[in-house]
Amino acid sequence: MRVAVLAGGRSSEHDVSLASGEAVRGGLAEAGHEPMAVEVARDGSWRHDGLPVTIEPGGGLLGADTVFPVLHGPFGEDGTVQGLLEIADVPYVGAGVLASATCMDKLAFKDRMAVAGVAQVDYAAVSQGDDTAALERLGLPVFVKPARLGSSVGISKVSTAEELPAALEVAFAHDPLVIVEAMSHGLEAECSVIGNDEPLASEPGEVTFEAEWYDYEAKYTAGGMELVVPARIDPEVRERVRSLAVEAYRRAGCAGLARADFFVEDDGRVLVNELNTMPGFTATSVFAKLFAASGMAYAELVDRLVALALERYEQVRGYRF
């Protein structure tokens, strides 16, 4: 099967995406597919074999049977590329337009979880010019984040009230909408999920790091973090993590795959933090390592994701619009 693998992109995760794309192409080839590399440059242009790629509505993409958009962050993981692929009428791996946009927008995601009563840290939205007095209910420390950005870019930990204005300024440089979150002192756990109508959760892992918090350097510097699988929590709490991962996945409307991130507090309470609909995808990335620990090799994983993309495409096209 011919699979176009999109990698690169306009976001700060461009290089991470290129590494993910290379790994995905290798896994697809091992699984017997014919991968085609499509590089999305930092300026947003697409190229295949050095030539520009153009897309016509209803015309597919390079004759591919399906597309694997291994793009992280804005202009790739936020519903924009997914909408383009819908217009091109080609199957693609991962969540659809709405779920991608929802999970990229931290406030939209948390609001959806809050309506469903899913446990999470307290939070508040802030726009430029807002009165910040309402943030006092969150206590200190808090984390100040751009609402629609990934990879911990633009995030600050605020330990005193005097630090808040500068942290907001940093976040507003990236997004006019900011989320401020109360700090959880629990350990950080992650769980991978694949599937469409019947999601499957991996063995949860525990993220450990030497930094004060899990920032960009901890995520992408060699040795900055360590993944412990299985997570060092009670078995019943691990099952709660898996159950919540599937619940959040379904409530967000995800398809194909996602990585669910959690805080597990000392009393065993599990708090949903966020869903990443296209997490890092090298063989040593958390998403793949968690499924490897659950007995699913990398080539099998990407092969199943292609099958899920085709399954979802056929299901959706069976409806009348």
List active site positions.
13, 151, 220, 259, 261, 274, 276, 280
Contacts of 121 (CB under 8 A, 6+ apart): 181, 182, 183, 184, 263, 271, 273
Question: Tokens 């931290």 appear where?
Answer: 106
Burial class (CB within 10 angstroms; exposed 0-12, middle 13-18, buried 19+) of 234: exposed
The identity of residue 275, as a single letter, is: L
* DSSP structure string for 188-226: EEEEEEEESSS-EE---EEEEESSSS--HHHHHSTTSEE
* CA separation for the pair 258, 77 (Å, rounded): 11
Q: Count CA within 13 A, CB hemisphere, residue 309.
A: 24
> Dihedral of the CA atoms 27, 32, 36, 38 (nearest 10)?
-30
